[in-house]
Amino acid sequence: MLRALSSGVSGIQQFQNSLDVIGNNIANSNTIAFKSARADFSDAFSQTLQVSSASSNGAGQSGMQVGSGVSTSAVKNMFTQGAVNRTGVGTDLAISGDGFFMVKDPINGAEYATRAGDFRLDTNGYLITNKGMRVQGTFGGANNTPGAGRGDIQIDATGVPSTTSPTAKMTSFSIASDGTVKVNMDDGTDFVRGQVLLQRFNDPQALLKEGDNLYSGIGAAGPLGGTANPAAEVPGTNGLGKIESSALELSNVDLANEFANLITTQRGFQACARIITTSDEILQELVNLKR
């Protein structure tokens, strides 16, 4: 009876974990570029009652084991593509395909990956997240042309060509599918200011959610360029997806599937609770035998 009691308790604990995961998925069904997760279960250690053995005449005995419950083996993030929604805002970017934007904290230099492209421009023209993280890429030219450096993407009139009027002002900008940032001046000229780069990981399950749609653990996830020196690349190359400007990737949570999982998980939780109740009743009967 004690084994059944232990199995019921472990089932309740793991189904609670599953309920937590499902609840978080449903709560983030409208979060930009949110990736849903799932809880994977595995059986716990089994107690061996009889070891299997073979005999010369082929009449060997089979082994006997009794399981001791269940455990959570993993909580996996599902990095499937979310739907892309047009917003009409020039600083909104979506990735169509594989890849992550790289953003950096300007205060401590910490770098993070994100799929959420709800960016904006600060007062200095830097392309930033809502929390002030600066989007990374090249500046001074597209496709790493000579003289281009890597760092924070800044969209302004710096580096205008010699044909541009000295009094010209920036009027607008656009970001192409390969991440190229083109600045338009009021005298009709334009030039490439920089390029947004993307990063891809061999094992995205190694990424850790940090909140605010950010992921850490970049080195452990196997980035392009290697663990020691990760280097983002041009969108549309090295298996990376393309950038869609004036659009945002939506959450990939399937509400219908989540509610179906919620029902089955609830029933599993109730069944494990019933195991505990039944085990308690049988133990009570054993105690009453003495009376």
- Residue 137 confidence class, pLDDT cut points 50, 70, 90: very high
Write the CB contacts of 137 (distance below 8 Å, at least 6 apart in sequence).
150, 151, 153, 179, 181, 194, 195, 196, 197, 232
Q: What is the pTM of this model?
A: 0.86
pLDDT at 1 over 60: no
Q: Is the pLDDT of residue 9 over 70?
A: yes
Report the C-alpha gap between 129 and 282 in whole angstroms.
59
Burial of 31: CB neighbours in 10 Å, binned 0-12, 13-18, 19+: middle
With contact defined as beta carbons under 8 Å apart, do 275 and 11 qualify? yes
Please check the confidence at residue 229 and state whether its pLDDT lies above 50. Answer: yes
- The tokens describing 171, both together, are 């009027």
CA neighbor of 154 nearest in space, from 127, 114, 186: 127
pLDDT tens track for 79-132: 999 999 999 999 999 999 999 999 999 999 999 999 999 999 999 999 999 999
pLDDT digits (tens, 9 = 90+) for 189-200: 999 999 999 999
Which of 34-38, 68-72, 111-115 shows the lowest per-residue confidence on average (mean pLDDT)? Answer: 68-72
Over residues 155-173, the pLDDT tens digits come to: 998 888 888 888 899 999 9
Quote the CA–CA distance of 166 and 171 in Å, as a whole number: 14
